[in-house]
A = this chain, B = another copy of it.
Amino acid sequence: MAAKLYTEKHEVPYYECDVTNYMTPAMLLNVIILISEKQNLDLGLGADFMEQFGLGWVVIQYDISIDRLPEINETISISTQATSYNRFFAFREFWMKDSDGKELVHVRSTWVTMNKSSRKMVTIPAAALEPYDSEPVKRLPRLKRPTKVEAADDVIEQKYQVRYYDIDGNGHVNNAHYLEWFTDVLPMDFLATHQPTAIYLRFENEVQYGHMIDSIVTKPIEVDGELTTNHQILVGDAVSATATIKWRNHD
């Protein structure tokens, strides 16, 4: 039996777009997470359900393929499926399609359940999986990991203060903001003329309100014929998140 698919339409308002009138990568994460929360609710597995176990779902890795980003005023459909799982990890996919059903974006993601008081990863409770009809597997699909920023790399670097509005209803920094810190460091000239084709993103340690973070990015270089940047977010010496982004020209 295939895992349950959940689909909703989404009309892209101007404030989810950047100066190029395409959806920002951060908003892309926001809207897919919204759709997965709606599926959770639909199946009676919302935040309240997880709360009875003292648990919350936490995403640890994203692998995002982008044909093109959704554009201003466009109505897209967004689907999600909790595809497979093992004892500690769950694998969830997302698709964004245009009005002709053409795939624009495909996201693969790895999740864990975390004990809300100890902040430790725990075995996923069977009751929190069963209604999705996900497939139990020995090994989850392997997601591409970001390439490390090396000491010899030519980098650009900027500090950002975590702001009040970066914090969501759980009291944690909304994951989408990491994508803003990763990319804002790059020059406007570059951001306004390039669009990501792939984003590999890994979360390591939580950033908190009031933290000063250091966003470091390698200058765009060609790797295997694709323009690539490697990213790192640090709080002090601790790596909070890493990413690799591949880019194409776009006007």
The residues of A with any CB-CB pair to B shorter than 8 Å are: 13-15, 17-21, 24, 26-27, 30-31, 33-34, 37, 72, 163-165, 167-169, 171, 174, 176, 180, 183-184, 186, 188, 191, 209-210
Contacts and interface: CB of A to CB of B under 8 A. Distances in A.
12 contacts: A13-B31, A14-B168, A15-B27, A15-B31, A15-B33, A15-B174, A15-B176, A18-B168, A20-B169, A21-B169, A72-B169, A164-B186
A150 to B, nearest CB: 25
A191 B169 contact: no
Contacts of A165: 18, 24, 26, 180, 184
Number of copies: 2
A188 B209 contact: yes
A164 B176 contact: no
Given A164-B184, A164-B188, A169 B17 contact: yes
A19 B183 contact: no
A168 B34 contact: no
Contact of A191 (B31, B164, B168, B191): B164
A20 B170 CA distance: 9
B188 A19 contact: no
Given A188-B209, A209-B188, A167 B15 contact: no
